Amino acid sequence: MICRLFVLLLLLFLPVCLYAQANPSNAGNPLEELNPSEPGGKFSQSPVEITSEGQTRYEGGVAIAENHVVIHYGDVAIYCEYAEYNPETHDVLVKDRVRLYRGDYAFVCDRAVYNLETKRLYMADFAGAKLPFEMTGSNLTSFTSDEYKIYDGTFTTSDSSQPDYYIRAKGIRIYPNDRIIFT
């Protein structure tokens, strides 16, 4: 009887003891890992690399690059002619011949704002592809990394510049690997 009681108490208290020792670095503040913009947090684990063939400068806390600009951060690569990066908000404003590659997606547009931390994306006059789909539109908004909203868009599986068939809609909501909603 005493052995059974001992085993029962051991099974109850062992997980609690192991959980208490799981992450000693956050013992003082359990919410510390939820703030990714702190130094050493999740955002700063990989650097933002900005290169250009033209002029680069730092004005008012914003990095500005011109002429064949290339921005790399994690799995994101952005190519453009003009870029502004704000390290406080992690927003990248890009203009002129913008090409954005993120994972399996490729977007081409005239101008865009992309947040490197939250992955929010706003594009104007864009076209994009995720095989086998091709899409175009006047605006694209990405609320999260797995939801896109296209305004005044077309959607097709034809890879021609003049597709034989397409679907035109005032609004297209895309949930990758799940569904597409036309409104």
CATH number at 91 reads: 2.60.450.10
Identify the domain containing residue 143 by its residue range.
Answer: 54-182
Determine, yes or no, domain membership for 66. Answer: yes
Average pLDDT over residues 103-116: 88
pLDDT at position 40 is 39
DSSP summary character for residue 162: S
Share of the chain above pLDDT 90, in %: 26
Tokens of 16: 């609690």
Rounded CA-CA distance 124/95 in Å is 10
pLDDT at position 6 is 59
pLDDT digits (tens, 9 = 90+) for 32-77: 443 444 443 455 567 889 999 988 888 888 999 999 999 999 888 9
Which single residue is written with the structure tokens 């992450």? 23
Determine, yes or no, domain membership for 64. Answer: yes
Rounded CA-CA distance 168/171 in Å is 9
Rounded CA-CA distance 127/141 in Å is 13
Q: Which of 68, 29, 71 is nearest to 50 (CA)?
A: 71
How many domains, the chain? 1
